[in-house]
């Protein structure tokens, strides 16, 4: 894939500022504004998520026996951490979409892979059906192969 040199202030080429049709121009401006609002909202979600991780960890450490975490507490904490990391990846996807002229497919697939990995890490195998586990494995395999194919294609 050909690399483009762009400065940091370049808008998304698919949504140009100038267009012959005033309605299309208005719609492009509206979509760019919506994406920027999504970036702001995702930042708030990330900050809120960090606060939630801190609060959850505090609650679990203050529950008797004090300052000890059992295995389910640790998995719940991992899940909360990974949820915040996924939100950060989504924020990065949004900001790349705002400033570049291509959709970051590799990053989107990596984000999806991280999200499904989060699910797998916190699986409660006593509660899940074998079909759900196999379906999750199929999603992980498909995303892993997709990521690998895009990686070797971009080298």
Secondary structure of residue 17 in the 3-state scheme: coil
**Tokens 């959850």 belong to residue:** 56
Residue 29 — pLDDT band, cuts 50, 70, 90?
confident
**Tokens 């702001």 belong to residue:** 40
150 in Cβ contact with 106 (< 8 Å): yes
Segment 47-60 shows an average pLDDT of 95
Segment 74-91 shows an average pLDDT of 90
Segment 100-125 shows an average pLDDT of 85
Segment 103-112 shows an average pLDDT of 88
Mean pLDDT of the chain: 85
Segment 40-45 shows an average pLDDT of 96
């Amino acid at each position: 894939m050909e690399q483009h040199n762009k400065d940091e202030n370049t808008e998304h080429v698919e949504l140009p500022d100038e267009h012959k049709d005033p309605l299309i121009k208005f719609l492009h401006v509206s979509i760019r504004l919506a994406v920027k609002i999504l970036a702001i909202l995702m930042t708030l979600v990330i900050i809120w998520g960090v606060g939630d991780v801190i609060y959850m960890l505090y609650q679990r450490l203050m529950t008797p026996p004090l300052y000890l975490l059992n295995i389910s507490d640790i998995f719940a904490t991992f899940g909360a951490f990974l949820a915040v990391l996924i939100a950060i990846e989504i924020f990065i996807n949004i900001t790349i979409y705002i400033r570049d002229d291509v959709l970051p497919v590799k990053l989107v697939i990596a984000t999806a892979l991280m999200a499904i990995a989060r699910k797998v890490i916190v699986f409660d195998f006593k509660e899940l059906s074998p079909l759900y586990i196999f379906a999750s494995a199929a999603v992980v395999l498909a995303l892993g192969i997709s990521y690998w194919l895009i990686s070797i294609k971009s080298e």
